[in-house]
Amino acid sequence: MAMWKLADLIAANLEELATLDVMDNGMPLAFAKATVSSCVAGLRYYAGYCTKINGMAVDLSGGGRELHAYTRQEPVGVVGAITPWNAPLAVVVNKIAPAIAAGCAVVVKPAEQTPLSALRFAELVVQADLPPGLINIVTGLGTTAGAALANHPDVDKLTFTGSTGVGKALVHAAAGNLKRLTLELGGKSPVFVFDDADLERAVPACAMAIFANSGQVCFAGSRLYVQRKRFEEVVERVAQAAKALRLGCGLDPATQLGPLVSGKQQARVMEYIESGLSEGGELLAGGSRWGRQGYFVEPTVFANPKRRPLRIVEEEIFGPVLVAMPFEDLDEMAALANDTPFGLGSGVFTSNVSLAHKAASRIRAGNVWVNCYGILDRAMPFGGYKQSGWGRENAAAGIEAFLETKAVYTML
Q: How, if at all, do strands 78-82 and 157-161 pair?
A: parallel
Q: How, if at all, do strands 282-285 and 300-303 pair?
A: antiparallel
- Classify residue 140 by its DSSP letter: S
Cβ of 63: how many Cβ atoms within 10 Å? 6
The CA-CA-CA angle for residues 307, 260, 290, to 5°, reads 80
Beta bridge mates, 75: 403
The one catalytic residue among 39, 104, 184, 206:
184
Q: In residues, how long is the chain?
A: 412
Query: How many Å apart are CA 170 and CA 189, to the nearest integer?
Result: 23
- Classify residue 144 by its DSSP letter: I
E strand or H helix that includes residue 96: helix 88-101
Query: How many Å apart are CA 98 and CA 400, to the nearest integer?
Result: 9
The one catalytic residue among 39, 104, 206, 218:
218
Contact (CB, 8 A) for 398 and 100: no
Query: How many Å apart are CA 67 and CA 4, to the nearest integer?
Result: 40
Contact (CB, 8 A) for 347 and 189: yes
184 is catalytic: yes
Give the 3-state secondary structure percentages of the chain, helix then strand then coil, rounded to 5.
45, 20, 35
Q: What is the DSSP string of 338-379?
A: HSSS--S--EEE-S-HHHHHHHHHH--SS--EESS-----TT
218 is catalytic: yes
Query: How many Å apart are CA 225 and CA 359, to the nearest integer?
Result: 13
- Reference 214, options 297, 303, 112; nearest CA is 297
Query: How many Å apart are CA 164 and CA 68, to the nearest integer?
Result: 45
Query: How many Å apart are CA 284 and CA 303, to the nearest integer?
Result: 7
- Reference 44, options 98, 81, 85; nearest CA is 98
Query: How many Å apart are CA 248 and CA 27, to the nearest integer?
Result: 10
Annotated catalytic residues are 184, 218
